[in-house]
A and B are shown apart, each in its own frame.
Chain A
Amino acid sequence: MPRGRAGARAPRSRLGLSRCRSSEIVLSPAILLSALLNGLLTGAVYALIALGLTLIYGVLHIINFAHGALLTAAMFAAYFAFKTFHLDPYVAVFLLTPAFFVLGYALQRFVIGPASHGDDRNMLLVTLGLAVIIENALLFEFRADTRTIELPYAFATINLGFTFLAVPRILGLVAAFVVAAVLWLMINLSDIGRAIRAVAKEKLGAQLVGVDVAHVYAVTFGLGTACIAVAACLLVPTYYVNPTAGNAFVLVAFTIVVLGGMGSIPGALIGGFVTGVVESLSGLFLGESLGQIGIFLTFIFVLLVRPRGLFGAGA
């Protein structure tokens, strides 16, 4: 996880060289395995964020640059739900998810859709504009202060003998699978799911047979935003909240979406886990601040070599 609360600030090792040497000495299978497991657990939250992004890309064919800012907004919502109404984040998730669905629906239906006149490049710019607005409105309102909430179980762990696994992260893993399953069922079995698939494949054709494309676009955007609300509620117990907190995740989510194939749900899940592990391992070898470079380099590499991703149909 980028700059987690526990490892507040990564030591500025000289390009991680000193770190590298020390880790070679103590590198044992147990450490590798625990890094691997923790990477998988982190990857679950990444996967959730990426699920929303990939869904929006798969149908609207745009990259939603407001994804990170919306995640930050959801984290603030979860934070204030706890501070003001003493709602546990794991309870708040059931309120925030529908609320963010409505927010996402409204944003696409009444702002992004009309503002971009159906042009992809305009959609990129509008979502970028929204990201700037949301992020800086939060900065203006709450300043750059970093906030955290105290929960009795935030640091609860399960002892596996050779390593400890954090309980909130295990919950994240479960939630990622539940959300992915619900989304998959919805898209494959429900009527709106059929409409979404139709629009994703052939927008004009869907319109001709009577599908309300603007509505389907907005529903998809709403679903993507709802995924973010789930991820935010899972993050808040162990992560800090500030006006740029979401950004660290969203570039990672872009990587995952590209890695897994734009628009592919299983791709987002698997891509999330792979990325979590890559980050965890490169953090182990290179030091924490350079650990993120591992992700970006993977990202650039995948974009350049196989832009349609591991599971994507075509770029």
Chain B
Amino acid sequence: MKVFAPIVVVVILLAAIPVVVHSNVVLNFLVVALMVALAGQGWNILGGYGGQYSFGHAAFFGTGAYVTAVLQARYGINAWTAFMLGILGGAVVGAVIGTLSFRSGLRGSYFALVTLAFAEVLRIVASVAPITGAGVGTLVRLDLRLAALQFESRAAFYWVILTLVAVALIVTRIVERSRFGAWLIAIRENEDAAMALGVDTTAIKLGAMVMSAAITAAAGCFYTQYFLFVDSGIAYGTWISIEALLTPIIGGIGTLFGPLLGALAVRTLGELAQSITGDAPGLDLVVFGCVLVLVVWFLPRGLAGAVAGIAQRLRQTERVSTAREAGHG
């Protein structure tokens, strides 16, 4: 149980925020930040622990969002069921893309490219296919009931997304400590060596991809419930592919809390940029781009890594000074 203690502490602290803060603006900000964090947590399993950089996680986010929206709007299926099926849909898309690309041995740049292409294909299909509402998009009917997974207060939505983030944190922790996780990290460090040692690299990567896709799809499902609208540019747009990889990289790639930390940092920066320039589009993303380059340049292990680095240095200086004192004494 001890390994889950940090998660419990962080989640309880976050869960207490709406009790203290009642501002809708702040809660809205936090809901979106947690949603992006969830998408990033998905990316982190595959990219952070497995070293497979996907540039097309929009494929999973969008599938989750569309399945949830279309099942409710067109087939009158209950929101909770639609939500679960949305996650399942994302996982299936992940399994298909993963099977195709890992079986043909795509790595590195090639893998990044093929994921990007799949997301684009889905975006174009969604923008013309009648079932998704084509260019118009799909609206979900406003129905503020628990049974419809819609709430009047932002706080309720906040707790829903926080629960999802908590589940993803626990899943990540379990992966980290499992044999599966060890194999995954071995693949990241040196795929050929891992294969030589008898790790079934294709199966492990595929498993990570499915898990990753399901988590990111959950963020998409939540998007639909929160905004009650999707279209192809939102669901399969490049913005979510970029934010999904940006948050873990900035927060600390391949770390448990990296995506959460990164999402809060990135979203805060975005809000700051927006408040400085008003409603002009683009500047927040310029800031994101600069942060991405600067983090890769100067903080290769992200914010979490920087914090750990500082803590370690403090501990070392302490040790050195105590050693010195001991030496003098």
Contacts and interface: CB of A to CB of B under 8 A. Distances in A.
Interface of A: 12, 14-16, 57, 61-63, 65, 111, 114-117, 120-122, 124-126, 128-133, 135-140, 143-144, 243, 251, 254-255, 258, 289-290, 292-293, 296-297, 299-300, 303-305, 307, 315
Contacts of A251: 116-117, 120
A120 B121 contact: no
B10 to A, nearest CB: 27
B129 interface: yes
Contacts of A133: 286, 289-290, 293
18 contacts: A12-B135, A15-B128, A62-B109, A63-B109, A125-B296, A132-B289, A133-B290, A137-B282, A138-B282, A140-B280, A251-B120, A258-B110, A293-B124, A299-B117, A300-B121, A303-B106, A304-B100, A304-B106
Contacts of B130: 14-15
Interface residues of B, number: 46
Contacts of A115: 293, 296-297
Contacts of B283: 136, 140
Nearest to B249: A125
B281 A139 contact: yes
Nearest to A244: B238
Contacts of A307: 104-106, 110
Contacts of B114: 300, 303-304
A117 B300 contact: yes
B292 interface: yes
B306 interface: no
A99 to B, nearest CB: 22
Contacts, number: 136
Interface of B: 51, 53, 55, 100-101, 103-106, 108-110, 112-114, 116-118, 120-121, 124-125, 127-130, 134-135, 242, 245, 249, 277, 280-283, 285-286, 288-290, 292-293, 296-297, 300
| Chain A binding surface SS class | helix
Contact of B300 (A114, A122, A293): A122
Contacts of B110: 258, 303, 307, 315
Taking each of B110, B113, B280, which has the highest tally of chain A beta carbons within 10 Å of its own beta carbon?
Answer: B113
Closest 7 CB pairs of A and B: A132-B289, A133-B289, A139-B282, A140-B282, A129-B292, A115-B297, A136-B282
A260 to B, nearest CB: 14
Taking each of A12, A132, A135, A144, which has the highest tally of chain B beta carbons within 10 Å of its own beta carbon?
Answer: A132
A15 B124 CA distance: 11
Contacts of B129: 15
Contacts of A255: 117
B296 A130 contact: no
A300 B111 CA distance: 11
A289 B124 contact: yes
A292 B117 CA distance: 11
A131 B53 CA distance: 17
B122 to A, nearest CB: 10
A292 B120 CA distance: 10
Given A131-B289, A303-B104, A315-B110, 13 more contacts: A12-B128, A63-B112, A114-B297, A124-B108, A130-B293, A136-B285, A139-B285, A140-B281, A289-B127, A296-B121, A303-B106, A304-B103, A304-B114
